[in-house]
Amino acid sequence: MCFSASASFGASAVLATVGVVTLRKVKDARQIPFAAIPLMFAAQQVSEGLVWIGLANPEHAAWSRFPVYIFLVFAQVIWPFWIPFAVFKMEKDSVRKRFLAAFLVVGLIFSSYILYCLFAFDVSAEISVGHIHYSLDFPYAFTWISSVLYAIPTVVSLFVSSVKRLYTLGVCIALSYLVARWFFLGFVISVWCFFAAILSFIILWIVTGLNEDAKTQDARLG
């Protein structure tokens, strides 16, 4: 979380609970990657809690860079391919599935490049005005299109899916990015990840709705 170590760990505990409940709601194995997202966000928030501890206490400098990389791997590498993968797994419409497969390829390419950059170029983090600022010294020529390449698999894929409730998640994620960009410029990576993590409650709502719809359909067929 973007405000303190205790807030990050507290958010992680809540997200872990939501994640367990969401996974318990799963009735179709194809929903597991999507239902696992809250637990993954919980792990991400733990990593940022450790970033806070490392930055706030110089005696922890020897290991403080490790959680920085863990957080950034989640934020910049995992989500661009995991989101389209999770949506792809749930999709039943063949045409939409082909589009989602294309988004998944874009996400994999983007994530692979970012993973390379994380270890090939300098990465740092610092506490500034109550938030964590992550500095990514990536090639400038790529930065202007990185937001677009990130958004295609992580946001647009939610609108392509035939699962209607995913539209709500897509709108909320897009709005949360705009809020983070407008009010927390310079801290977008940290703040947007916090907002996206909070949206895990919507994921629980989506999974619950999918299984309620399936029960209704089975009852009609019966």
Domain ranges across the chain = 5-221
pLDDT at 32: 97
Find, among 81, 178, 213, 188, the residue nearest to 136 by Cα: 188
pTM for the full predicted model: 0.89
Q: CA 140 to CA 106: how far, in whole Å?
A: 20
Q: Which fold has domain 5-221?
A: Rhopdopsin 7-helix transmembrane proteins (1.20.1070)
114, 122, 149 from 111: Cα distances, Å: 5, 17, 10
pLDDT per residue, tens digit, the chain (222 aa), is 446 788 889 889 999 999 999 999 998 999 999 999 999 999 999 999 999 999 888 787 778 889 999 999 999 999 999 999 999 999 999 999 999 999 999 999 999 999 999 999 999 898 887 788 888 888 766 666 787 888 899 999 999 999 989 999 999 998 888 887 787 767 777 777 777 778 889 999 999 998 876 555 544 544
Find, among 107, 141, 100, the residue nearest to 121 by Cα: 141
pLDDT tens column, 143-189: 667 878 888 999 999 999 999 899 999 999 988 888 877 877 677 77
